[in-house]
């Protein structure tokens, strides 16, 4: 929309009920409601989207990143309705939209592909036999998929059947197509993709590469351009292969050709395998824009209008380095489970020549269970990779997110990790360095003292009545006043000893004692001075809780209430609860069953992904209140166990 407005074009947004107050709705010149929150009743409903475009008098449809962006039937429907589809022709979408057909086409064109089975026989026993022929580990992938949905890594034959069933079910839910292919899993691969552009006049170029190897659950989380350590000859070989791919299918517009590189053989011109082609603009396209100085959406609109490509291959240059992080509402500590809820606080980094921010939500908005839980993309640029990483990490430390769990601290830790800085990356990087990237449970002393200082500062503000009895200067007959502030954090009790002084406080955390004071800024943030050093953060009151925002992390503390603690002291539970809102897809046990620790109890679908809920310990199932198809909220008891 920013690009369209800059070009003098009016924009029309479509939205579901869940997105009625979303930023894209407010940004558009006109907005049209297209249905309820469920994607199949709104964003995936072709007839409704076309009707909205016609009613608004639109000339063209930009399909965005997901939903119908790679749907040939939608592209055809646009053309039939007299609308220009801002993307490739339906024939090109079909040629590359199904992974099996695309790989067969690439094999015919002599582009190397990963060994695997890409055939039509979807019988489970046949696919399992193909997995044995290929050799474990293998990767099951949805034929019509993307974004890690409908994808399972399988290391042993005994796990194949259950993994296949889950991949097919997830693929059907996300894409309406349950078909899969089976490929050899390349150990420690790098995911490198080429941005291509083609017009209707036979011209095609590549706009260099992006490295998207930093992934969790087969989904990208950090992308950068150019790829670290990329030799010139390999860049040229991959770029020319991607252009050949585009020309072979009569491509037009923006697209991305994705390759897998075997890191065991190094970065060489003969060491890459075709994975798939995304026949749309990618979420990570800003890093390409940052190093080329181009607006790829403008290129899309010009090509869709019938113009030639603005530049030729020899006119395209790389300037500096760019890195993008995806700020997600998810919890790295629980396997990156998505989080949903209202954004009570959302402060994103300030934009500059070095920092770009693309956000899909605003403070006070909802991260719903219906769509991808990405909050924003933050992109850093500098002349060097090291500079870009430092610029981005520094900017992220100024961000604040409260109301949902998020991966902000994880992103900062990754950008500052010595192995990531040195370019030692592949798709298993996160798992390999998990303990270093995901902060340990618990709140650091600075965060705990900031919470205590927030409480003390609230008292100080209330004490400005002028009464000598309310002055917090620490004076008492018989010596300075002392007390202990107690908090609950993740089920554990924490305390901060406070000694009141004329010039502030003495705070005791464990055996350590610190001189401290605090002041509030005009924007509500806090500056604490602890042993002479400044600590910048923010503390919010959310209901009965305090949320401490400090250096990219958020910690929830509950001030200790002795009456409530006594009331609930004997109310222990022995339940398996939903870690997020979602829909029950399958229940695998029944009351009376004896289960082992880690055994699958139920499958929960949330935010377009499936999550297996497992028994926390050996136990006997007592009650199962919910069945397949039921919608549950976070914290709902899925299974209760008989008392041991």
- Which residues does the annotation mark as catalytic? 280
Rg, Å, the chain Cα set: 27
In the beta sheet, which residues pair with residue 260?
191, 273
In the numeric block, the tokens 């072709």 are attached to 46
Q: Are 86 and 61 in contact (CB under 8 A)?
A: yes
Residues 6+ apart with CB under 8 A from 605: 170, 173, 582, 583, 584, 585, 611
Q: Are 141 and 180 in contact (CB under 8 A)?
A: yes
CB atoms within 10 A of CB 568: 9
Dihedral of the alpha carbons of 12, 13, 17, 19, in degrees to the nearest 10 = -150
In the numeric block, the tokens 């053309």 are attached to 79
SS3 of 244, please? helix
In the beta sheet, which residues pair with residue 526?
520, 537
Look at strands 374-382 and 355-359 and give their pairing: antiparallel
Residues 6+ apart with CB under 8 A from 491: none
Among the listed residues 454, 461, 420, 415, the one whose alpha carbon sits nearest the alpha carbon of residue 542: 454
CA 489 to each of CA 201, 340, 423, 559: distance values in angstroms, whole numbers, following the listed order:
63, 20, 37, 9
Phi then psi for 40, rounded to 5 degrees?
-65, -20
Among the listed residues 545, 569, 567, 58, the one whose alpha carbon sits nearest the alpha carbon of residue 49: 58
Structure token digits, residue 546: 């305090």
| Angstrom distance (rounded) from CA 140 to CA 153 | 6
Helix boundaries (H) for 382-444: 385-396, 408-415, 418-421, 429-432, 434-437
| Angstrom distance (rounded) from CA 268 to CA 265 | 8
Q: Are 532 and 525 in contact (CB under 8 A)?
A: no
| Angstrom distance (rounded) from CA 47 to CA 67 | 14
| Angstrom distance (rounded) from CA 585 to CA 618 | 23
| Angstrom distance (rounded) from CA 182 to CA 128 | 9
| Angstrom distance (rounded) from CA 173 to CA 629 | 13
CA 26 to chain centre: 23
Q: What angle do CA 526, 541, 448 make, to 5 degrees?
A: 55
Q: Are 255 and 196 in contact (CB under 8 A)?
A: yes
Phi then psi for 622, rounded to 5 degrees?
-100, -60
CB atoms within 10 A of CB 243: 21
Q: What angle do CA 386, 379, 415 make, to 5 degrees?
A: 45
């Amino acid at each position: 929309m920013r690009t369209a407005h800059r070009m003098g074009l009016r924009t029309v947004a479509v939205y579901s009920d869940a997105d009625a107050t979303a930023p894209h709705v407010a940004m558009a010149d006109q907005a049209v409601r297209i249905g309820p929150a469920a994607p199949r009743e709104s964003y995936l409903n072709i007839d409704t989207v076309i009707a909205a475009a016609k009613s608004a008098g639109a000339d063209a449809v930009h399909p965005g990143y997901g939903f119908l962006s790679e749907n040939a039937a939608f592209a055809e429907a646009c053309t039939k309705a007299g609308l220009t589809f801002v993307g490739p022709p339906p024939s090109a979408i079909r040629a590359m939209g199904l992974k099996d057909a695309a790989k067969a086409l690439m094999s015919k064109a002599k582009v190397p592909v990963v060994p695997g089975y890409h055939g039509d026989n979807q019988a489970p026993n046949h696919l399992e036999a193909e997995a044995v022929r290929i050799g474990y580990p293998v990767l099951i992938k949805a034929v019509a998929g993307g974004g890690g949905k409908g994808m399972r890594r399988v290391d042993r034959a005994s796990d194949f059947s259950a993994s296949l069933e889950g991949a097919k079910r997830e693929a059907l839910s996300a894409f309406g197509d349950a078909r899969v292919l089976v490929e050899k899993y390349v150990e420690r691969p790098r995911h490198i993709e080429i941005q291509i552009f083609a017009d209707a006049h036979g011209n095609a170029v590549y706009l260099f590469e992006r490295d998207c190897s930093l992934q969790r659950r087969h989904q990208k989380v950090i992308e950068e351009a150019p790829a670290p350590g990329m030799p010139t000859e390999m860049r040229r070989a991959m770029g020319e292969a991607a252009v050949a791919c585009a020309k072979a299918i009569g491509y037009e517009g923006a697209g991305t050709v994705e390759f897998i590189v075997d890191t065991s053989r190094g970065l060489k011109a003969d060491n890459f395998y075709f994975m798939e082609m995304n026949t749309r603009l990618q979420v990570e396209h800003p890093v390409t824009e940052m190093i080329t100085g181009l607006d790829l959406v403008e290129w899309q609109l010009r090509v869709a209008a019938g113009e030639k490509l603005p530049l030729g291959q020899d006119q395209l240059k790389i300037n500096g380095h760019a890195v993008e992080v995806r700020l997600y509402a998810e919890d790295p500590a629980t396997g990156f489970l998505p989080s949903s809820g209202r954004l009570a606080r959302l402060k994103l980094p300030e934009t500059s020549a070095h920092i770009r921010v693309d956000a899909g939500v605003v403070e006070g908005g909802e991260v719903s269970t219906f769509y991808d839980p990405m909050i924003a993309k933050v992109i850093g640029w500098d002349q060097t990779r090291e500079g870009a990483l430092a610029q981005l990490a520094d900017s992220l430390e100024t961000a604040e997110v409260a109301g949902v769990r998020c991966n902000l601290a994880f992103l900062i830790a990754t950008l500052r990790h010595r192995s990531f800085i040195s370019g030692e990356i592949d798709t298993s990087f996160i798992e390999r360095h998990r303990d270093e990237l995901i902060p340990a449970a618990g709140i650091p002393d600075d965060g705990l003292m900031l919470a205590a200082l927030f409480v003390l500062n609230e008292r100080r503000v209330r004490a400005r009545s002028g009464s000598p009895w309310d002055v917090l200067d620490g004076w008492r007959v018989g010596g300075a006043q002392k007390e202990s502030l107690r908090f609950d954090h993740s089920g554990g009790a924490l305390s901060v000893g406070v000694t009141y002084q004329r010039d502030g406080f003495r705070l005791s955390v464990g055996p350590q004692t610190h001189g401290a004071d605090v002041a509030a800024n005009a924007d509500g943030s806090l500056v604490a001075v602890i042993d002479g050093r400044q600590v910048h953060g923010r503390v919010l009151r959310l209901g009965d809780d305090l949320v401490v925002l400090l250096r990219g992390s958020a910690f929830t503390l509950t001030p200790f209430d002795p009456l409530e603690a006594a009331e609930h002291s004997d109310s222990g539970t022995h339940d398996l609860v939903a870690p997020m809102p979602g829909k029950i897809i399958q229940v695998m046990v029944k009351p009376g069953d004896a289960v082992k620790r880690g055994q699958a109890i139920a499958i929960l679908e949330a935010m377009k992904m499936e999550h297996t809920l497992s028994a926390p310990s050996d136990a006997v199932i007592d009650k199962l209140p919910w069945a397949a198809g039921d919608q549950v909220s976070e914290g709902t008891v899925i299974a209760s166990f008989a008392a041991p």
